[in-house]
Amino acid sequence: MKKINAVGLRCPEPLMIVRRELRNMSPGEAIAITADDPSTERDFDLLCRNLGYVMEEHKAESADNSALYFFVIRKP
């Protein structure tokens, strides 16, 4: 599974990187993303709903006044 660390990147960079990677992947492959930009929750949800990708995992963890967001997205 391909992994992308988007920590420190701000909208729209994480979305652009993930979208480009998904386009280059074969059906059935998945990508794991770690981000700290809260807008990635909305962006990746819309990406999956609008383009038919499958959000297999989405969770958030908070610590020390910051949050990390974890996603697994699969190309159908």
Which domains are delineated in the chain? 2-74 (3.30.110.40)
Mean pLDDT of 19-42: 97
Model confidence band, residue 22 (pLDDT cutoffs 50, 70, 90) = very high
Q: Which of 4, 7, 11, 25 is catalytic?
A: 11
* Predicted TM-score of the model (pTM): 0.94
pLDDT computed for residue 36 by the predictor: 96
The reply to whether 48 belongs to the active site is no
Mean pLDDT of 62-73: 92
Chain centroid to Cα 32, Å, comes to: 7
pLDDT computed for residue 4 by the predictor: 98
DSSP 6: E
Other C-beta atoms closer than 10 Å to the C-beta of 19 total 15
